[in-house]
Amino acid sequence: MGRRTTNKLLLTGGKIGLAPAAPIGVTDALAHANRTAMAADPLDILHATFGFSDFRGVQQAVVDRVMAGRGTLAVMPTGAGKSLCYQLPALARHGTAVVVSPLIALMHDQVRSAEGFGIKAATLTSADDDRAETMRRFRAGELDLLYVAPERASGESFRSLLRFTPLALFAIDEAHCVSEWGHDFRPDYRLLRPLLDAFPDVPRLALTATADAHTRADILQQLGIPDDGLIVAGFDRPNIRYTISPRDGLAAQLKTFIADQPGAGIVYAPTRDATDKIAAQIASSGRPVRAYHAGLDAGVRARNQRDFVASEDMVMVATIAFGMGIDKPDVRFVAHAAMPKSVEAYYQETGRAGRDGEPAVAQLFWGAEDFARAQRRITELDEARQKGERARLSALSHLVETAECRRAVLLRYFGEQPAARCGNCDNCLSPPATVDATEVARKLLSAAFRTEMRFGVGHLADVLAGRETDKVIGSGHNRLSVFGIADEEELKLIRPVARALIARDALRADEYGGLSFGPAARPILKGEESVGLILPPKRERRRRSRDAEEHPHDPLFEALRAKRREIAVERGVPPYVIFHDSTLREMAGLHPTTMAGLAQVTGVGQAKRDAYGEAFLGVLRNWQG
């Protein structure tokens, strides 16, 4: 089998260094001794490699199980440090960690970030031209991490490749893809179990940010992880501010919203045409912008993604295909121009903001037509799936219609029991007024019924208002009992009430806008259910962004960011690969002037200190602010 080299960290005389190349037998002996030492104190690797003084949240519980060789499913919110949970054991355990990841672009970003910490990582995908070299490095034991797609990982040829190289662990990223109950089911994830079972002594670690109780149980079963291996960190992302608004002139709404948000951001659009249109509107304001959807040439998509990942203030307008394949921590906002397909999808898509823990905003603009389209799609599904999909749509309706804390509604959906108010969503910051619109809703439903459920809300409003339009007279609707029964104040509520009734499936809109009864209409008409309507607060003077509120302008921080930008351009990597903003803020606050002082800054590990330390110390030493 030849010689095997390793770059595993060794504890030598209380310090951490690199293990030299050694014959396979000697390397195995060293690895055995090293594994014992590392299992006792993974904090040494955490500090030396990653620059962190302690674990966060459930990281240590996850790492401890992996180090003990036990199967684990870690459900951790985006930004909680999931990747560290397999990167650290990959350094501490003998062998290479095989990481199964769903998208090639995501793998490439993860490799780039890992290499920034001095970790030896590579991808083995159809898009890589260096596959032969990667396999050579893997066989020689030169890799800490090998990233592969599930399609490759589930094949017999890949399984054969693994038989001749020691393995540290299997990590299955985005593990919700294994479950048919998950919102991003990938059939190839279902084929991973034989691979895992072929190496029973290699620990398996599944990771996801988005999995309800049903999905979690399915993941455990499909991947052969014991029930006691489930570790749930919770779903709260306290740094994200959730805001939800009805669409009312989307172009103007987006323009105002984006103008308030510094930094890079993502706008999700429902169609390719909408993506191009919104991107053009944003470009006209002078903000750097790119588009991403399946209709673009693959080279254009790749270039646009590279531009966005490397930027600090660009907006990416994209269909929902974008985002799962990036590992960009400094996205400051995510905006939805239309309704996502489920609460799970909303949570995952908004979770692409603020992965660095810094303040971020998630803004959703929704309309009744979003629910109407979703309801029509549900009717096209197999009957067995319709009940579950209607439940998901109902949960979305509750999220957008509620006057309660948005975060509380979101977390309760995932089975948590949060506080009643979070202080960081639109409803907590500016509590909306509510009005009992039950009588208006009953009049609107009656008008729909009396007009044979073929007309849209505009015509129904004319009937209720008693307007003798040509269409009303021509249809004979001026002779109906509902003609002119709504007063002026009630007429102001017709459209918002229609939107609410469609959202809760009391009304259904066909492709031409005609409104007919849904199953929730009867209880309202019979007086068994009421209809409360949220009245959004009037827009106040433009609020400063949360980032500006929490982080006043700091010239030294900006000087450090400029240095980071300069180095990133020289190295051809995104700025966040050098250091996150949070690290630069701490650096500006502590103002170290020596390497020893720089080592005390969170996120400054040995590799980054060696690579960039003098450059940033030069800024700090010369600062005259």
Identify the pLDDT of residue 11.
37
Provide mean pLDDT across the span 207-225: 90
Instruction: Supply the pLDDT for residue 539.
Output: 57
Does residue 339 carry a pLDDT above 80?
Answer: yes
Shared-domain flag, residues 277 and 384: yes
Distance between start and end Cα atoms, the chain: 60
Say yes or no to pLDDT of 31 above 50.
Answer: no
126 or 132: whose pLDDT is higher? 132
- Residue 277 and residue 224 in one domain: no
pLDDT, residue 593, reads 93
The answer as to whether 540 is a domain residue is no
Break the chain down into helix, strand, coil percent, rounded to 5. 45, 15, 40
Q: What is the pLDDT of residue 388?
A: 84
Residue 541 placed within a domain:
no
CATH number for position 322: 3.40.50.300
- Which among 580, 260, 331, 544 is positioned nearest to 318, based on CA atoms? 331
Segment 414-460, tens digit of pLDDT: 888 999 999 999 999 999 988 999 999 999 999 999 999 999 999 99
pLDDT reported for residue 21: 35
- What is the model's pLDDT at position 121? 97
> What average pLDDT does the structure give for the chain?
87
Helices (H), 341-493: 343-350, 368-379, 383-401, 406-413, 426-429, 438-450, 457-465, 470-474, 488-491
Which CATH number goes with the domain that contains 567? 1.10.150.80
Q: Give a yes or no: residue 546 inside a domain.
A: no
pLDDT single digits (tens) 79-127: 889 999 999 999 999 999 999 998 887 898 889 889 999 999 999 988 8
CB atoms within 10 A of CB 67: 19
pLDDT (tens digit per residue) in 576-593: 899 999 999 999 999 999
CA dihedral sign of residues 188, 191, 192, 195: negative
Which range, 61-65, 107-111, 297-301, is most confident?
61-65
Helix 24-40 to helix 84-92 angle (10° resolution) is 130
Torsion-angle region of residue 213: left (phi > 0), alpha (psi -120 to 50) or beta? Answer: alpha
> Residues 488, 391: one domain?
no
Residue 118 falls inside a structural domain = yes
| Structural domain that includes position 284 | 240-431
- Band (pLDDT 50/70/90 cuts) for residue 7 is very low
272 and 329 belong to one structural domain: yes
Same domain? For 493 and 412 the reply is: no
Name the residue among 449, 266, 457, 305 with its Cα closest to residue 372.
457
| 417 and 472 co-located in one domain | no
pLDDT at residue 200 in the model: 96
Phi, psi of 504, deg, nearest 5: -95, 10
pLDDT of residue 120: 96
CA angle 344, 417, 185 (to 5 degrees): 20
Q: Which of these three, 191, 207, 232, is where a domain ends?
A: 232
Residues 312 and 393 in one domain: yes
In a domain, 3, yes or no: no
Q: For residue 22, which amino acid is it? A: A
Find how far residue 574's CA is from the centre of its chain.
19
* Number of compact structural domains in the chain: 4
Indicate if 505 and 568 belong to the same structural domain: no
Does residue 542 lie in a domain region?
A: no
Q: Is 200 in the same domain as 319?
A: no
Percent of the chain with pLDDT over 70: 89
Write down the pLDDT at residue 182.
Answer: 57
Domain boundary among 535, 566, 599: 535
Q: Is residue 225 domain-resident?
A: yes
Task: Categorize the per-residue pLDDT at 549 as very low, low, confident or very high, splitting at 50, 70 and 90.
Answer: low
The whole-number pLDDT of residue 390 equals: 87
Domain final residue, candidates 404, 431, 458: 431
Of the ranges 345-359, 436-450, 524-538, the best mean pLDDT one: 436-450
pLDDT at 29: 35
Long-range pairs for 198-202 at CB < 8 Å and ≥24 separation?
198/159, 198/162, 199/162, 199/167, 199/170, 201/69, 202/167, 202/168, 202/169, 202/170
Give the CATH number, domain containing residue 513.
Answer: 1.10.10.10
Residue 9 clears pLDDT 70, i.e. is over it: no
- Note whether 415 and 488 are same-domain residues: no
**Does one domain contain both 225 and 175?**
yes
pLDDT at 263 over 90: yes
397 and 499 both lie in a single domain: no
Q: Note the pLDDT tens digit of each residue in 463-522.
A: 999 999 999 999 999 999 999 999 999 999 999 999 889 988 899 988 788 999 999 999
Greater confidence, 2 or 513?
513
Residue 2 lies in a domain: no
Q: What is the pLDDT of residues 388-421, one digit of tens each?
A: 888 889 999 999 989 999 999 999 998 889 999 9
CB of 262 closer than 8 Å to CB of 109: no
CA 324 to chain CA centroid, Å, is 7
Residue 348: band (very low, low, confident or very high) from pLDDT cuts 50, 70, 90: confident
Measured CA to CA, the distance from residue 142 to residue 130 in angstroms comes to: 15
Residue listed under structure tokens 């490749």:
161
